[in-house]
Amino acid sequence: MSESPRGCLANAPQLSRTLALKGFVSTSLEDYQPVLDYQRSAHELGYATLA
């Protein structure tokens, strides 16, 4: 992604104020897919769900 963290904040000023963020980077589902796959596998094996 080419957008800078500060550019993302410009698109979400209320979020940045509420959470007192100095910067963040926008992501997509593909960025989280490994985590979702791991969570699904753990659930199938009977592990508790993490919040």
Whole-model pTM?
Answer: 0.44
The Cβ of residue 49 has, within 10 Å, a number of other Cβ atoms equal to 7
Give Cβ neighbours of residue 49 (< 8 Å, ≥ 6 apart).
39, 43
pLDDT in tens, 8-51: 666 777 877 888 877 767 778 888 899 889 989 999 999 987 65
Q: Is residue 50 part of a domain?
A: no
Specify if 31 maps to a domain: yes
Token look-up 């104020």 returns 17
Range of the domain at 19: 5-44
- Cα-Cα end-to-end distance for the chain: 27
- Quote the number of domains for the chain: 1
Structural tokens at position 44: 């199938």
Assigned domain for 51 exists? no
